[in-house]
């Protein structure tokens, strides 16, 4: 079933179950949001997406949680909507550090984007600001809660996407914050450092530690993770010729933007000076660089020699979890069909 | 197990006859939390001790709160064939006199007796309905509180208990139960006043594998104790209401969400559940019918926001108590994703009488849109601090000056706050307005669950607004920005004003922020939190201006704006104040005028309270 409604005068047709926000997106109408995310369930916390629905008893409704209905007439801007949004952003900024220039999220920050959109210029609200210590216990990412807008995306990502629930809202009122179990440092918590939440954070509250050392990325390149047979789609983030970060490829059907800790954070070996880039062959007790052809020829010769001298069962093949299923299949085929032995095994069985 | 009401009732009557011979005197002791707090347990001990060496056969019955918290501890004596005489403010010391005179010498102590809880005066003691406190009250919800032993199911049954359940099961369909509740005009007593019958109908119509009913006994409003008194004084009637709701909706399981700070209520609820199960009124095949239903008690940890229905359900599911947006409404997707109906204790408590006496009986009381009665926890600067139940439509004046006995200590009425911490403050211009849902909303307040705080001219309205906002801010769940940060900034502005650092623009800023918080917040907590601020600005703006423009607190409350001094004319040099000042701010010799050093004084008010000559002045 489909539903047709009007958003800011534009007619749009959506599937049953779509929210007003979905409809607005489809109609090409921008509604500011901080807590809505396509991968997460509607939450309705930031209140920036408030819109007016003609004929509704309530003066304003959140677009991200309100289902679209047939014939609905939605307005995304009015004096009271604009004023409420402006005040909400002004309130947020009244408890936000004024350090955008040194913030890793500068220019990509969603708070900057909504502040610019609603047009906040001054701040009339003086008062207490949070001053949490930065949690740098985790080697991969930093947590600076002074910048947190409590959109809950990290909490919901960890719960709904990663199914882990390592973090949640804690305390009440102004003291509300995101915390691990018993509010302990991240490194001593149940967090698995998958970095999924870091990717989702709309502001500079969660960011990769590497950015402090390498600076921010300037270019992105799609690739496939080489760590395991799942083969997640990755986007390598580079600065010059250095890989400074990785994020999951949201368009890749295998992982749809997700990765594990190795895929997301285990990339620094790429930049390491000791990294092997060519095969080595031991000659006279020392490793010497060789070409792939030389190396493979040598392996083939030695295998053939052992089989000839001592029979096929003198050889065993051990394959790797970093290979795909197809590669593992080929290897056992090679063992049985070419070498003639059943001696194959896999590191994942150990 | 009984499969008809007559045999259940016969059991209860034989039970009462067996345990309470008609020729035995009964002594009722008020042992709700209020009675216990006033010293009821000491009185009980004294009673037991005295009775032990008196040649009379008497039995002590603990009962719940009858509402006269201001007269606790209460002891009532009922001799065979005589009316129930209520003695108020009883102490362990007065027990021997009361018992000896009343029981041995047939002499009701008129000077100690408070009233006859009965229709006629007796031996010079007035009937309760002759007292202004009781004259205009009408007890539907509190019908059994203070009258029956809350731990005796037999006593509940002989007071028509479970007759409504039997009637619903044997004579009515679920649809006709809902129809009856709809026609009664009953509205939810938990705050929002949503029509109960309509809510039940939504839930009945909602498709779901299971359905749940929840009794909201969280009662988080500070100073409110209506629900607690009912749970302690008449737990079975709440349970009966819940079972009838389950039958009407088609629910197979229920929860009573009660705050852990109500230990006595929880004990009595648990007992009530066991008794009901043992009689086949709860569990498999209730009253031998096909209807099965059971109830779990869930103890809440005492967060105000957990009274909000979606937060409450999250809490039952073991999650953090944080509200979520509606739709989906609980009736569509509630507890564990199933259709759920949630009602307040008092709402449910109204159900058995409605089913038993009919919708018309119920709807005959109240106003056009607010039917029946409402309980209030009447507190603050009122003579009779009490639990009361009055028909909707009564005016504030009738409640405060009639039932409440007026303002304490001969002071002037200034304001009344209804609706708990996020209700608004009404002024003397509203004294003759009727109390009902629509009128209170029009006046900038809310009905809430029934808190009614009376304030006199010694109350600073800016300070009151600050006090309530401090509560809502620290109880905000922190989820949405307007509530979490808006109430914080509003609170800070109020803190500056009471400290004498306010600016006139602050009033406009409060109004603007108040609007954003009201309109922008996700749940009822934020949507109502600005009410105390907005209503005090509306009705007591002059007090805000005095604080800001003149750095003066008209009620002489705000510490930064007042100074203490000692009147040269009145001070007799008794040294009492100097000896009591906690910071030694007062100097002076014996029989000479004393002096306060304003630099040292912390404005704790001790000296003013101890001085016997009213010599300490506050400017
Ligand atoms: C912050 C907040 C606290 C609430 N606390 C209570 C409460 O303690 N008891 C209650 O019955 N309802 C409370 N409510 C109202 C409930 O959400 C719900 O409307 C009510 O339980 C429905 O029952 P009713 O229809 O019988 O009134 C609260 C609402 C809010 C927003
Ligand atoms: S890094 Fe992964 S496991 Fe850790 S909190 Fe974030 S989402 Fe949860
Ligand atoms: S840390 Fe980031 S994602 Fe998590 S709540 Fe704060 S702003 Fe949102
Ligand atoms: S699961 Fe981890 S290691 Fe495996 S491909 Fe995905 S990101 Fe790489
Ligand atoms: S209004 Fe307040 S209590 Fe309600 S969801 Fe928002 S932050 Fe939580
Ligand atoms: S108000 Fe308190 S501190 Fe000040 S003089 Fe009196 S007793 Fe001392
Ligand atoms: S995007 Fe709708 S409330 Fe945050
Ligand atoms: S630039 Fe927005 S949080 Fe840093």
pLDDT tens per residue, range B148-190: 999 999 999 999 999 999 999 999 999 999 999 999 999 999 9
Preceding omega of A292 cis (within 30 degrees of 0): no
8 Å CB contact between B451 and B382: no
Radius of gyration of chain A (CA): 27
Contacts of B476 (CB under 8 A, 6+ apart): A172, A173, A176, B305, B483, B484, B487, B525, B526, B529
**What CA–CA distance (Å, rounded) separates B273 from B235?**
9
CATH number at residue B38: 3.40.30.10
On the question of pLDDT at B62 being above 80, the answer is yes
- Class of domain A126-212 as given by CATH: alpha beta
Residues from chain B contacting residue A125 (CB–CB below 8 Å) = 489, 513
Q: In chain B, whose CA is at the least distance from the CA of A84?
A: B516
**What CA–CA distance (Å, rounded) separates B216 from B413?**
33
- Pick from B282, B256, B418: nearest CA to B343: B256
Q: Which ligand is nearest to the CA of A149?
A: 3
Interval A194-239: pLDDT, tens = 999 999 999 999 999 999 999 999 999 999 998 888 899 999 999 9
Rounded to the nearest angstrom, the gap between the alpha carbon of residue B394 and the centroid of all alpha carbons in its chain is 18
Q: Is the CB of A118 under 6 A from ligand 3?
A: no
CA distance A321 to chain B (A): 38
Q: Is the CB of A36 under 6 A from ligand 7?
A: yes
Q: Write out the residue limits of the CATH 3.30.70.20 domain(s) in chain A.
A: 126-212
- pLDDT, residue A132, reads 97
CA distance B502 to chain A (A): 12
Interval B448-477: pLDDT, tens = 889 999 999 999 999 999 999 999 999 999
- Pick from B286, B197, B207, B288: nearest CA to B245: B197
On the question of pLDDT at B81 being above 80, the answer is yes
- pLDDT, residue A252, reads 96
> What atom of ligand 7 comes closest to residue A43's alpha carbon?
3
E-strand ranges in B293-363 read 294-300, 340-344
Give me B201's structure tokens: 């109908």
Q: Do residues B258 and B387 share a domain?
A: no
Interval B201-241: pLDDT, tens = 999 999 999 999 999 999 998 889 999 999 999 999 999 99
Residue B349: is it exposed, middle or buried by C-beta count within 10 angstroms (0-12/13-18/19+)? buried
- What is the CA(A280)–ligand 8 centre distance, in A? 48
Query: Where does the pLDDT of residue A126 fall: very low under 50, low under 70, confident under 90, or very high at 90 and above?
Result: confident
Rounded to the nearest angstrom, the gap between the alpha carbon of residue B590 and the centroid of all alpha carbons in its chain is 49
What is the ipTM metric for this complex?
Answer: 0.90
- What is the CA(A101)–ligand 8 centre distance, in A? 8
* Structural domain includes residue B404: yes
Q: Do residues B476 and B528 share a domain?
A: yes
On the question of pLDDT at B559 being above 90, the answer is yes
Domain count within chain B = 5
Whether A168 and B320 lie within 8 Å, measured CB to CB: yes
Range with the lowest mean pLDDT among A278-287, B104-113, B313-322, B538-547?
A: B104-113
* Structural domain includes residue B165: no
* Structural domain includes residue B51: yes
E-strand ranges in A38-137 read 50-53, 61-62, 73-75
**For ligand 7, mutation pick of A20, A31, A44 (most atoms within 8 Å of CB):** A44
* Interface residue of B332, B472, B485, B496 to substitute, partner A, most A CBs within 10 Å: B485
* Structural domain includes residue B159: no
Q: Is residue B30 within a helix (H) or strand (E), and if so which, with residue range?
A: strand B25-30
* Structural domain includes residue B193: no
* Structural domain includes residue B427: yes
Phi and psi for B137 in degrees, rounded to 5? Answer: -75, 155
Rounded to the nearest angstrom, the gap between the alpha carbon of residue B48 and the centroid of all alpha carbons in its chain is 31
Interval B240-276: pLDDT, tens = 999 999 999 999 999 999 999 999 999 999 999 999 9
Longest dimension (CA), chain A: 90
8 Å CB contact between B526 and A44: no
Interval B381-410: pLDDT, tens = 999 999 999 999 999 999 999 999 999 999
**What CA–CA distance (Å, rounded) separates B108 from B76?**
11
Interval A134-149: pLDDT, tens = 999 999 999 999 999 9
On the question of pLDDT at B316 being above 90, the answer is yes
8 Å CB contact between B494 and B467: no
Say which of A44, A150, A168 has its CB closest to residue B325: A44
Q: Do residues B450 and B472 share a domain?
A: no
**What CA–CA distance (Å, rounded) separates A247 from A261?**
11
8 Å CB contact between A203 and A228: no
Percent of chain B residues past pLDDT 70, beyond the cut: 100
Q: Do residues B349 and B275 share a domain?
A: yes
* Interface residue of B326, B479, B505, B518 to substitute, partner A, most A CBs within 10 Å: B479
Q: Is the CB of A204 under 6 A from ligand 8?
A: yes
8 Å CB contact between B362 and B236: no
**What CA–CA distance (Å, rounded) separates A55 from A68?**
14
**What CA–CA distance (Å, rounded) separates B98 from B372?**
38
Contacts from B34-38 at CB under 8 Å and sequence distance 24+?
B34/B65, B34/B69, B34/B72, B34/B225, B34/B229, B34/B387, B35/B65, B35/B72, B35/B73, B35/B74, B36/B264, B37/B72, B38/B69, B38/B72, B38/B73
DSSP conformation class of B145 = T
Interval B419-446: pLDDT, tens = 989 999 999 999 999 999 999 999 989 9
DSSP conformation class of A139 = S
CATH number at residue B213: 3.40.50.11540
On the question of pLDDT at B363 being above 70, the answer is yes
CA distances from B338 to A331, B212, B226 (A): 52, 7, 30
Number of CB atoms found within 10 A of residue B400's CB: 23
Please give the model's pTM, rounded to 2 decimal places: 0.92
Say which of B473, B476, B516 has its CB closest to residue A88: B516
Whether B325 and A174 lie within 8 Å, measured CB to CB: no
State the Cα angle at A14 between A11 and A18, rounded to 5°. 125
Q: Do residues B439 and B507 share a domain?
A: no
Residue length, chain A? 350
Q: Which residue bears the tokens 């907590």? A: B525
On the question of pLDDT at B110 being above 90, the answer is no
- Name the residue at shortest CA distance from atom 7 of ligand 4: A263
Whether A173 and B478 lie within 8 Å, measured CB to CB: yes
- Pick from A61, A42, A65: nearest CA to A53: A61
**What CA–CA distance (Å, rounded) separates B23 from B58?**
9
The A-side interface with B (CB below 8 A) comprises 42-47, 50, 59-60, 62, 65-67, 80, 83-84, 87-88, 91-92, 94-95, 124-128, 149-150, 152, 168-169, 171-176
DSSP conformation class of B365 = S
Say which of B322, B489, B522 has its CB closest to residue A47: B522
Q: In chain A, whose CA is at the least distance from the CA of B477?
A: A172
Q: Is the CB of B604 under 6 A from ligand 6?
A: yes
Whether B522 and A45 lie within 8 Å, measured CB to CB: yes
| Partners of A167 in the β-ladder | A180
Residues from chain B contacting residue A126 (CB–CB below 8 Å) = 492
Residues from chain B contacting residue A155 (CB–CB below 8 Å) = none
Q: In chain B, whose CA is at the least distance from the CA of A60?
A: B519
Q: Do residues B304 and B432 share a domain?
A: no
Contacts of A181 (CB under 8 A, 6+ apart): A166, A189, A190
8 Å CB contact between B529 and B494: no
Q: Write out the residue limits of the CATH 3.10.20.740 domain(s) in chain A.
A: 2-77
On the question of pLDDT at A350 being above 70, the answer is no
Residues from chain B contacting residue A95 (CB–CB below 8 Å) = 485
- pLDDT, residue A221, reads 97
Q: Write out the residue limits of the CATH 3.30.200.210 domain(s) in chain A.
A: 219-271
Whether A44 and B485 lie within 8 Å, measured CB to CB: no
- Pick from B60, B52, B120: nearest CA to B85: B120
On the question of pLDDT at A349 being above 90, the answer is no
Contacts of A119 (CB under 8 A, 6+ apart): A86
Q: Is the CB of A142 under 6 A from ligand 3?
A: no
* Structural domain includes residue B158: no
For range A159-183, the mean pLDDT = 96
- Class of domain A2-77 as given by CATH: alpha beta
Give me B449's structure tokens: 């669950």
* Interface residue of B319, B520, B521, B524 to substitute, partner A, most A CBs within 10 Å: B520
Q: In chain A, whose CA is at the least distance from the CA of B473?
A: A173
> What atom of ligand 1 comes closest to residue B525's alpha carbon?
1
For range B22-47, the mean pLDDT = 91
DSSP conformation class of A271 = G
* Interface residue of B478, B482, B514, B523 to substitute, partner A, most A CBs within 10 Å: B478
8 Å CB contact between A87 and B487: no
For range A126-132, the mean pLDDT = 95
8 Å CB contact between B482 and B525: no
Q: Do residues B425 and B539 share a domain?
A: no
8 Å CB contact between B371 and B186: yes
Q: Do residues B444 and B499 share a domain?
A: no
Contacts from B362-369 at CB under 8 Å and sequence distance 24+?
B362/B140, B362/B184, B362/B185, B362/B186, B363/B183, B363/B184, B363/B185, B365/B138, B365/B140, B365/B391, B365/B392, B366/B185, B366/B391, B366/B392, B366/B393, B366/B436, B367/B392, B367/B393, B367/B434, B367/B436, B369/B185, B369/B436, B369/B437, B369/B438
CATH number at residue B494: 1.20.1440.230
Whether B327 and A88 lie within 8 Å, measured CB to CB: no
Q: What is the 3-state secondary structure (H, E, C) of B471-538?
A: HHHHHCCCCCHHHHHHHHHHHHHHHHHHCCCCCCHHHHHHHHHHHHHHHHCCCHHHHHCCHHHHHHHH
Percent of chain B residues past pLDDT 90, beyond the cut: 90
- pLDDT, residue B222, reads 86
Q: Do residues B452 and B472 share a domain?
A: no
State the Cα angle at B135 between B133 and B139, rounded to 5°. 90
The B-side interface with A (CB below 8 A) comprises 303, 305, 320, 322, 324-325, 327, 473-482, 484-489, 492, 509, 512-513, 515-516, 519-522
- Name the residue at shortest CA distance from atom 1 of ligand 4: A260
> What atom of ligand 2 comes closest to residue A162's alpha carbon?
7
Q: Do residues B299 and B409 share a domain?
A: no
Q: How many pairs of residues across A and B have Cβ atoms under 8 Å apart?
A: 107
Final residue belonging to a domain, choices B425, B456, B487: B456
CA distances from B497 to A29, B514, B543, B547, B548 (A): 43, 16, 10, 6, 6
Radius of gyration of chain B (CA): 27
- Pick from B239, B226, B231, B296: nearest CA to B264: B231
Rounded to the nearest angstrom, the gap between the alpha carbon of residue B285 and the centroid of all alpha carbons in its chain is 35
- pLDDT, residue B313, reads 98
* Structural domain includes residue B148: no
Whether B481 and A168 lie within 8 Å, measured CB to CB: no
Residues from chain B contacting residue A36 (CB–CB below 8 Å) = none
Whether B322 and A173 lie within 8 Å, measured CB to CB: no
Interval B187-201: pLDDT, tens = 999 988 999 999 999
Would you give the end-to-end CA distance of chain B in angstroms? 71
- pLDDT, residue B223, reads 84
* Interface residue of A40, A68, A127 to substitute, partner B, most B CBs within 10 Å: A127
On the question of pLDDT at B49 being above 70, the answer is yes
Whether B473 and A173 lie within 8 Å, measured CB to CB: yes
Say which of B327, B475, B481 has its CB closest to residue A47: B481
Q: Is residue A286 within a helix (H) or strand (E), and if so which, with residue range?
A: strand A286-289
Whether B486 and A45 lie within 8 Å, measured CB to CB: no
8 Å CB contact between B116 and B127: yes
Q: Do residues B496 and B405 share a domain?
A: no
**What CA–CA distance (Å, rounded) separates A81 from A147?**
25
- What is the CA(A129)–ligand 8 centre distance, in A? 15
- What is the CA(B306)–ligand 5 centre distance, in A? 11
Query: Where does the pLDDT of residue B32 fall: very low under 50, low under 70, confident under 90, or very high at 90 and above?
Result: confident
- Name the residue at shortest CA distance from atom 1 of ligand 5: B526
Q: Is the CB of B326 under 6 A from ligand 5?
A: no
Q: State the average pLDDT for chain A.
A: 95
**What CA–CA distance (Å, rounded) separates B438 from B444?**
10
**What CA–CA distance (Å, rounded) separates B2 from B280?**
7
Expressed as residue numbers, the domain containing B499 is 461-549
8 Å CB contact between B128 and B86: yes
Q: What is the CATH number of domain A219-271?
A: 3.30.200.210
Q: Do residues B335 and B465 share a domain?
A: no
């Amino acid at each position: 079933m489909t539903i047709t409604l009007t958003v800011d005068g534009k007619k749009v047709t959506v599937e049953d179950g779509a929210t007003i926000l979905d409809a607005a997106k489809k109609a090409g109408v921008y509604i500011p949001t901080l807590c809505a995310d396509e991968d997460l369930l509607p939450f309705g916390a930031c209140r920036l997406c408030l819109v007016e629905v003609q004929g509704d008893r309530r003066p304003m409704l959140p677009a991200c949680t309100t289902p679209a209905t047939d014939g609905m007439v939605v307005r995304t801007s009015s004096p009271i909507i604009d004023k409420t949004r402006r005040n909400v952003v002004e309130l947020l900024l009244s408890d936000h550090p004024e350090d955008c220039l040194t913030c890793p999220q500068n220019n990509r920050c969603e708070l900057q984007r909504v502040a610019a959109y609603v047009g906040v210029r001054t701040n009339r609200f003086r008062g207490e600001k949070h001053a949490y210590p930065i949690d740098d216990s985790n080697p991969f990412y930093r947590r600076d809660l002074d910048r947190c807008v409590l959109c809950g995306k990290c909490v919901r990502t960890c719960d709904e996407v990663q199914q882990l629930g390592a973090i949640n809202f804690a305390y009440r009122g102004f003291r509300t914050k995101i915390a691990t179990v018993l509010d302990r440092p991240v490194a001593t918590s149940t967090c698995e450092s998958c970095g999924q939440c870091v990717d989702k954070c709309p502001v500079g509250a969660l960011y990769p530690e590497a950015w402090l050392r390498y600076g921010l990325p300037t270019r992105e390149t799609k690739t496939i993770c080489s760590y395991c047979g799942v083969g997640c789609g990755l986007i390598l983030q580079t600065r010059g010729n250095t890989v400074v970060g990785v994020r999951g490829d949201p368009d890749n059907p295998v992982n749809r933007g997700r990765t594990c800790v190795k895929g997301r954070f285990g990339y620094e070996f790429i930049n390491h000076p000791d990294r092997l880039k060519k095969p080595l062959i031991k000659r006279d007790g020392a490793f010497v660089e060789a070409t792939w052809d030389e190396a493979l020829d040598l392996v083939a010769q030695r295998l053939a020699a052992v089989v000839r001298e001592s029979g096929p069962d003198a050889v065993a093949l051990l394959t790797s979890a970093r290979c795909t299923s197809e590669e593992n299949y080929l290897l056992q085929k090679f063992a049985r069909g070419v070498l003639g032995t059943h001696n194959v095994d896999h590191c994942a069985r150990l | 197990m009984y499969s008809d009401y007559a045999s259940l009732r016969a059991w209860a009557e034989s039970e009462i006859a067996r345990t309470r011979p008609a020729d035995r005197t009964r002594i009722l002791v008020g042992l709700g939390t209020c009675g216990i707090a006033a010293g009821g347990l000491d009185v009980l001990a004294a009673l037991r001790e005295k009775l032990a060496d008196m040649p009379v056969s008497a039995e002590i019955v603990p009962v719940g709160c009858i509402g006269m918290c201001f007269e606790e501890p209460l002891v009532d004596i009922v001799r065979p064939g005589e009316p129930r005489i209520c003695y108020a403010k009883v102490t362990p010391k007065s027990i021997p006199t009361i018992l000896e005179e009343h029981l041995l010498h047939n002499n009701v102590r008129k000077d100690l007796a408070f009233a006859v809880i009965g229709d006629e005066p007796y031996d010079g003691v007035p009937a309760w309905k002759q007292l202004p406190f009781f004259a205009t009250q009408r007890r539907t919800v509190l019908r059994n509180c203070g009258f029956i032993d809350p731990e005796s199911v037999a006593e509940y049954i002989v007071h028509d208990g479970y007759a409504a359940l039997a009637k619903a099961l044997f004579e009515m369909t679920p649809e006709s139960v809902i129809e009856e509740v709809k026609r009664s005009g009953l509205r939810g007593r938990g705050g929002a006043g949503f029509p109960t019958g309509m809510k039940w109908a939504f839930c009945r119509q909602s498709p779901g594998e299971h359905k749940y009913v929840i009794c909201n006994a969280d009662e988080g409003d500070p100073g409110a104790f209506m629900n607690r008194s009912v749970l302690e004084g008449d737990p079975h009637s709440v349970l009966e209401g819940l079972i009838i709701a389950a039958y009407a909706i088609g629910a197979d399981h229920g929860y009573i969400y009660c705050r852990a700070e109500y230990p006595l209520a929880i004990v009595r609820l648990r007992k009530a559940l066991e008794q009901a199960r043992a009689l086949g009124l709860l569990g498999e095949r209730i009253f031998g019918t096909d209807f099965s239903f059971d109830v779990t008690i869930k103890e809440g940890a005492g967060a105000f926001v957990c009274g909000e229905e979606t937060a409450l359900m999250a809490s039952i599911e073991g999650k953090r108590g944080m509200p979520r947006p509606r739709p989906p409404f609980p009736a569509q997707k509630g507890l564990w994703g199933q259709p759920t109906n949630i009602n307040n204790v008092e709402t449910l408590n109204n159900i058995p009488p409605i089913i038993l006496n009919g919708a018309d009986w119920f709807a005959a009381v109240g106003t056009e849109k607010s039917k029946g009665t409402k309980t209030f926890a009447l507190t603050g600067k009122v003579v009779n601090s009490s639990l009361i139940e009055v028909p909707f439509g009564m005016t504030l004046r009738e409640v405060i000056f009639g039932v409440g006995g007026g303002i304490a200590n001969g002071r002037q009425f200034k304001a009344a706050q209804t609706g708990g911490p996020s209700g608004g403050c009404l002024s003397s211009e509203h004294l003759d307005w009727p109390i009902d849902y629509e009128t209170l909303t029009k006046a900038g307040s809310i009905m809430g669950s029934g808190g009614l705080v009376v304030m006199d001219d010694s109350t600073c309205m800016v300070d009151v607004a600050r006090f309530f906002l401090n509560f809502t801010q620290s109880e905000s769940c922190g989820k949405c920005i307007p509530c979490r940060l808006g109430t914080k900034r509003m609170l800070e502005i109020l803190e500056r004003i009471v400290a004498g650092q306010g600016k006139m623009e602050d009033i406009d800023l409060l109004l603007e922020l108040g609007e954003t918080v009201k309109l922008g917040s996700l749940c009822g907590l934020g949507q109502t939190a600005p009410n105390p601020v907005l209503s005090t600005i509306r009705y007591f703006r002059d007090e805000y201006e005095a604080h800001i423009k003149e750095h003066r607190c008209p009620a002489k409350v705000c510490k930064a704006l007042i100074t203490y001094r000692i009147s040269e004319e009145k001070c007799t040099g008794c040294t009492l104040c100097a000896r009591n000042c906690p910071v030694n701010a007062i100097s002076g010799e014996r029989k000479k005028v004393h002096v306060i050093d304003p630099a040292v004084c912390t404005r704790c008010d001790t000296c003013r309270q101890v001085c016997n000559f009213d010599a300490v002045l506050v400017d």
